[in-house]
């Protein structure tokens, strides 16, 4: 008795047990994961537009807060310069200790420097 290819395929198919439902569900789950890896989902144009709009709004709020911060720093610098130059009512002199008292620096230190150089 000689077997052709179709007879052999039928004979081997009869020996094989049908796959269980558990095995088939695992195979299908693996196939779905592999398909997801090969073609990742792309965000829609509407979602990208919303994200871009929200980013622009957040950046505008941050710029507004930053401008207030820079304004505060500029005001503090201006007050410091005013107090350093004008010293209204002896505010700086009353806070500074004796060793840091404000004096006329033009004469005394010039002569001390001349003695060191000689």
Q: Indicate the SS3 state at residue 44.
A: coil
CB 3 within 8 A of CB 11: yes
- What tens-digit pLDDT sequence spans the chain (118 residues)? 567 888 888 887 777 777 788 888 898 999 988 887 887 778 899 999 999 999 998 888 787 778 888 888 999 999 888 877 877 767 666 666 555 445 555 555 555 555 555 5
* Helix intervals (H) in the chain: 5-15, 21-38, 45-86, 91-95, 108-117
CA distance 96 to 34: 74
**Maximum CA extent, the chain:** 129
Q: What is the pTM of this model?
A: 0.32
Question: Which residues are within 8 A (CB) of 96 and not within 5 positions of it... i.e. 6 or more apart?
Answer: 102
């Amino acid at each position: 008795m000689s077997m052709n290819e179709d007879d052999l395929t039928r004979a081997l198919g009869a020996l094989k047990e049908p796959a269980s439902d558990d095995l088939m569900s695992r195979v299908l789950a693996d196939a779905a994961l592999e398909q997801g890896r090969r073609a990742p989902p792309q965000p829609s144009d509407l979602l990208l537009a919303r994200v871009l709009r929200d980013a622009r709004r957040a950046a505008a709020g941050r710029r507004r807060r930053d401008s207030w911060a820079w304004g505060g720093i500029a005001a503090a610098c201006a007050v410091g310069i005013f107090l350093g130059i004008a010293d209204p009512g002896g505010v700086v002199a009353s806070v500074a200790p004796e060793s840091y008292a404000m004096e006329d620096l033009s004469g005394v230190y010039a002569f001390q420097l001349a003695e060191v150089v000689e």
